[in-house]
Amino acid sequence: MPQGNEIPVPVPVTSSVPFDFPEDQRALFREVLEVLNKQGVPYAVSGAFALQQHTGICRYTKDLDVFLTQEHVQPALRLLGEHNYACEVCDPVWLSKAHRDDFYVDLITGMSNGVISVDDTWIERAQPAVIIDVPTRILAAEELLCSKLFVTRRERFDGADVAHIIYATRGKLEWERVLAIVGENWEILLWSLVLFRYVYPAHSDYVPFSLWEDLLTRYMTLVSKPDPKAPFRGSLIDENMFAIDVKEWGLEDVLAEYRARRTPRAFDPSSMITPESKTA
């Protein structure tokens, strides 16, 4: 409950009514998509725009989320820098940004914990769409779902998005593709499916019974025979909430291991082109 003169922070609103983006924001997003299209940069749009396409849910965003492979990040940044966007690599494992004024384009190559990364198949499987009057492509529903599985932090949780994707598609997903992406981290998928079942109990059948059976059988096998050598994985969920486990209780830092696998071996920040460096 708010105390004294505190003003409660409003809960983010979702709706089926499309937002009327300001023209300067529309122009910036349109320009970015047209630039990437013209130069043939392989990418797929994700975020609020992809969620709208797959579920009908509209959510205001100041960011344009663009998914691409690691090898195409530097060319994309260089290209946007040449068009007077300020560019920066925020985290070489997964995130770069290009911005002008108050609007951002996020260039995303995977999850921040390094567990899931974008490869060529994500782009090849992207579906045609029109965003801000520009013909483009959005992540397929399977990749969109997987991109949200590890967004489980205290300040942001995308479990509702996962549930909405399953509900809106009526579960008509390539579940084998989802399993292939999550791989050894299938328990995170099961966690999301249990949440879906709780939220939509009348629609358990949107998840194939064979998948329920497979994952629950795997799970029961694990819990019936605990592995005393199994590593602690809390930091993959939220490195801050589980910081004490690693820093004070001496448990494994698997987050560092996953991120080390995804960190580009050759990264030269000076190779970036920004409006500032062009005039230097």
- Record the tokens describing residue 37, joined without a space: 């299209």
- pLDDT at site 73: 96
Q: Specify the pTM.
A: 0.89
Domains for the chain: give ranges and CATH numbers.
Answer: 23-270 (3.30.460.40)
- Which residues, 6 or more positions from 79, have their beta carbon under 8 angstroms from its beta carbon? 35, 36, 39, 41
The pLDDT tens digits for 123-174 are: 999 999 999 999 999 999 999 999 999 999 989 999 999 999 999 999 999 9
- pLDDT at site 268: 56
Confirm if 131 and 29 have CB atoms less than 8 A apart.
yes
- pLDDT at site 1: 44
Q: Can you list the residues of the chain whose pLDDT is less than 70?
A: 1-13, 266-280
| DSSP of 122-165 | HHHT-EEEEETTEEEEE--HHHHHHHTTT-B-SS-B-HHHHHHH
Nearest CA to 267 out of 92, 41, 118 is that of 92
- pLDDT at site 233: 97
- pLDDT at site 102: 84
How many whole angstroms separate alpha carbon 50 and alpha carbon 73?
20
Confirm if 273 and 87 have CB atoms less than 8 A apart.
yes
Nearest CA to 68 out of 136, 159, 162 is that of 136
- Record the tokens describing residue 238, joined without a space: 């939220």
DSSP code, position 79: H
How many whole angstroms separate alpha carbon 214 and alpha carbon 186?
11
